[in-house]
Structure 1
Amino acid sequence: MMGSRLSITLLALAAFTTAAQAQDKDKTGDIIARGEYLARAGDCTACHTAPEGRLFAGGRAMPTPFGTLYTSNITPDPETGIGKWSADDFYRTMHNGRFPDGGLIYPAMPFASYTKVTRADSDAIFAYLRSIPPVSQRNRPHELRFPYDNRQLILGWRTLFFSEGEFKPDPTKSAEWNRGAYLVEGLGHCGMCHSPINALGGTSQSDAFKGGLIPMQNWYAPSLTSNREAGLGDWSIKDITDLLQTGVSARGVVYGPMAEVVHNSLQYLSDEDTKAMAVYLKGISEPSPPPPASSALPTTESSLLISLGKTVYDKNCASCHGTQGEGKPPHWPPLANNQSIEMQSAVNPIRMVLNGGYPPGTNGNPMPYGMPPFAGLLSDNEVAAVVSYIRTAWGNRGTPVSAREANELRSAPLN
């Protein structure tokens, strides 16, 4: 009798242990899945995976005005990756912008945004990175000009531009707005592109999300606060979420670096998180004064340029974008009353005429319609003319551009 009771007790204990192990495994699996989702939200693959390279093995060249940085291996390889790191090490790196040994990280890694990430989310991302296949690939030394190769200079940058601290919800705003703020300001690090970068490679807090030229890429990331640029105050939530999730909406289409962000990151976010971002982005927009009515070119020259532009437009563009710039959304965006056409910077429309491009292929838009390049068909004068025409026709309030501007962008990198 005693032996039977012992056997039953041991069987029950074994069953309990097995159930507990299964529960722990499920919990670990849930954390890893959440970490993968958060790594997508942070677009980690965009920097830490080189073209044709292994996932998160680093080695991607990041040209900057100060020289070229090479991204690091964040696979769990113990010698060349983060295999020897602890969750505490990973959190300190995200939160403080320092390596586990205290070394300073160059701010091309957006730790000024990642410092807002919560400890729980940091731990989940770390668990996911620990679960991927390790890759033995040593980090390539940076190629920075003197004196920028002296990491101690980062201390000055940090004093001016880095404020450490996790995201603090605004109690006067809804939970949805705060979730959107957390994603946009923190994991999404949208301010890295959509804020002006000064000569020191930093952005003042007062200029956050006010738009600027992306260094070394020659694409303009429009202001997210100004309704004259990408401010979304008069967009519907659906128009915003469509753009974030699929790259196309009734109000516009994404190209260039933003197309990569949608492809690598935003299309994978949940409907709830995408809507939260839309609510936040719509909420931070602010009215802007109308653009100046005067043209940068003399009246006669401007008139001749725009007249030529109409001829070029009718021949090459009207079949898709309409004779009145009405377009055929969402595949062929309207050019009339299009914020991206009217912005003070004409870099993006010039590049689209020269280089063409495609919106990202996404689950919601797997076969996007693209625009052909016209660099080989149109002269600098013709490119300037047609861009000037679309910036001033149909009630658009942009200003003309010059052939010199078109020529300068012919050799710009395509990504």
Structure 2
Amino acid sequence: MAKSSRFGMSAWIAAATVGVVAVTVGASAAYGTDAYVPTPGPAPGSYAAMPKPDTTGMNAQQVAQVQRGEYLTTAADCMPCHMAPGAKPFAGGLSFETPFGVLYSPNISSSKSDGIGNWTDKQFWNALHNGIAPGSSLAVFPHYLYPAMPYTSYTKLSKPDVLAIKAYLEAIPAVNTPNVKNDMKFPFNIRAMQLGWRIMFFRAGPLHMKKTWSPAVRNGAYIAEALGHCSECHSPRNLLFAIKSGQTLAGAPILGEPWYAPNISASKQYGVGDWSQSELVSFLHDGGNMQKGSAYGPMKAVVDYSLSQIPKSDVKDLVAYLQTATPPRETPMKKVTVPASELAAGKTLYVQNCAACHQADGKGVADVFPNLAGNQSVWDGPANNTIGIVLGGMIPWHANGPAMPAFGAILDDHQIAQIANYVRTAWGNPGMPDATAAQVYGFRKSAPPHKVAVADGDYLDPSPIASAQARKLECPLRTDPLIDPTAADMKIMQGATAKDLGTRTDKLIAAVKKSNPHLSGAQMKQFLLTTYCPVVATDPSISDKKTALKQFMAQSQVQAMAAPPAKSGG
């Protein structure tokens, strides 16, 4: 159900094609033999991001189950993965690109035609607990779910909680949106091939904990290991893409994206063991602070749609588990040195592009621009996250602050690496200057595609790397997540011709300006090119695609440059 768990996607493939000795992995096995059965907490409050359930005609017990399910579905962060950009919640369609093809999250609404409306309680339990959905593969094998859906963590959920999630999904509006067919390459499209990986690395069962743990730590472990499935992203993987035994929560790169999920174990030097409780609670629940920064990248969705929505008391329990009960993972960074001239060049670029907001001393401006000095997310682990932010920008970290613009269209790969190396080592930050131009270039090319559902049920893909046609046109990379095309915007440009191109461009720019008033003319030009190029590439009615794209950019340049100037930032 969660986007962040895409690590596991490749594991079943490797296991099916490589003969190895089975190794049982599972964080819960190390915690003793005391199986944890959660006690339902109080009725949840308001989950602003979630569809509201209709409990009309239900008795008190049924209402309580639905309320529990709403809380659990929020804590499990299900909605962001089962909702493509521009689509309705739980309608599915979000794409996950892998080296072996593309997966699309399924519709898990209560739709009887497209979702899980016809599933029995037993079938729903079997999917979350055992990773097996209704249906069959090759008429012999069960319909194994791909581990991109983290059933390897959800197996630790109690049966009442699994059925509560189902009750909530059944109580919200059904969405009759057909599932997008997976586009996996042969033989990886054969689900039965997952059997080998499952035999080696999957063990269904409850969460086991130490009997000495307090109720708060037990609840925190349940949230982290079962609901929030933190280990799925924050743990290194072996050659078969299973979590490495003995390295849970030690930090790991996120496959296919320019992000690194940091060490969140109890290590005081490399993890979160040295954070104060208030700092970590603020980071996970309240949007961050000027000491430790704020969440961004995939983690921001986890905070926005999940952790910030559940009671703060539960987040405190989660923090207690991470800081006191997880094995400390010591992950020293490999020592790297670069010429002093490189760091000097990075400082110059920082002063020119970033200091106006983040200040020359890197301390930022309280509640407006985040600090970079002392910010662990800047220096911890490899340079992935610093590169990602400079390359693609960031939505406002605080309600009072503006969005950080993307510098991917302004600075070249070497310059972005120089800035990253400077901020990771300046002002006492203990990071390593390990960013390289080649690494930045690789991140530009590895941006994952996302399908956008349009009104007629078709799917357009705004990503320039999503199709062979777009690659042939050499569509530039859309590096700015702040300029995310909506379904309505994409619909404006679909099927454009030479005669109506100007009119459609005007409409598109007006729509984008309305929803993104901060954009500069340069950013608007970048958006128009990177968004329209894939549309040209995939529109069968346009024969001379390169000419059409050139014409579009020539006609749109004047309108784009009329956009208001963006606020500066770095």
TM-score, scaled relative to structure 1: 0.86
State the Cα deviation string for residues 336-371 of structure 1 (Å, max 9, x = none): 2332222341111012112111256xxxx5555432
Q: What's the secondary structure of 2:328's corresponding residue?
A: coil
- Aligned equivalent of 1:380: 413
Cα distance in structure 2, aligned partners of 1:147 and 1:359: 43
- Report if the CA contact (8 A) 1:251-1:333 is conserved: no
Superposition deviation, residue 292 in structure 1: 5.0
- Report if the CA contact (8 A) 1:390-1:396 is conserved: yes
Q: What's the secondary structure of 1:63's corresponding residue?
A: strand
1:220 matched to 2:260: yes
1:340 matched to 2:382: no
Cα distance in structure 1, aligned partners of 2:336 and 2:134: 55
Superposition deviation, residue 290 in structure 1: 5.2
Amino acid at match of 1:28: Q
- Report if the CA contact (8 A) 2:292-2:376 is conserved: no
Aligned pair partner of 2:275 in 210, 235, 241? 235
Instruction: Show structure 2 runs of 5+ residues with no match.
Output: 1-55, 136-141, 448-478, 482-570
Aligned pair partner of 2:314 in 263, 270, 273? 273
- Aligned equivalent of 1:46: 80
- Report if the CA contact (8 A) 2:234-2:252 is conserved: yes
1:28 matched to 2:62: yes
TM-score, scaled relative to structure 2: 0.63
Question: Where do 1:88-127 residues align within 5 Å?
Answer: 88-101=122-135, 102-127=142-167
- Report if the CA contact (8 A) 1:355-1:375 is conserved: yes
- Aligned equivalent of 2:22: none
Aligned pair partner of 1:79 in 88, 95, 113? 113
- Aligned equivalent of 1:370: 403
- Aligned equivalent of 1:5: none
Cα distance in structure 2, aligned partners of 1:331 and 1:227: 29
- Report if the CA contact (8 A) 1:343-1:398 is conserved: yes
- Aligned equivalent of 1:196: 236
Aligned pair partner of 1:323 in 348, 360, 365? 360
- Aligned equivalent of 1:253: 294
- Report if the CA contact (8 A) 1:326-1:334 is conserved: yes
Amino acid at match of 1:288: E
1:141 matched to 2:178: no
Aligned pair partner of 1:171 in 211, 221, 233? 211
- Report if the CA contact (8 A) 2:113-2:176 is conserved: yes
What is the RMSD computed on CA atoms of the aligned residues?
A: 2.3
Aligned pair partner of 2:423 in 390, 401, 409? 390
Amino acid at match of 2:414: N
Superposition deviation, residue 267 in structure 1: 1.2
Change beyond 3 A, Cα 1:251–1:285: farther
Q: What's the secondary structure of 2:74's corresponding residue?
A: helix
Aligned pair partner of 1:310 in 343, 347, 363? 347
Superposition deviation, residue 291 in structure 1: 4.1
Q: State how many pairs are aligned.
A: 384
Change beyond 3 A, Cα 1:96–1:355: same
State the Cα deviation string for residues 348-399 of structure 1 (Å, max 9, x = none): 1012112111256xxxx55554322222332333222221111222222222
Change beyond 3 A, Cα 1:220–1:289: closer
Instruction: Show structure 1 runs of 5+ residues with no match.
Output: 1-21
Cα distance in structure 1, aligned partners of 2:419 and 2:83: 38
- Aligned equivalent of 1:68: 102
Cα distance in structure 1, aligned partners of 2:288 and 2:406: 19
Change beyond 3 A, Cα 1:194–1:333: same
- Aligned equivalent of 2:10: none
- Report if the CA contact (8 A) 2:250-2:329 is conserved: no
Amino acid at match of 1:270: P
Higher helix share: 1
Amino acid at match of 1:251: K
Aligned pair partner of 1:349 in 381, 386, 403? 386
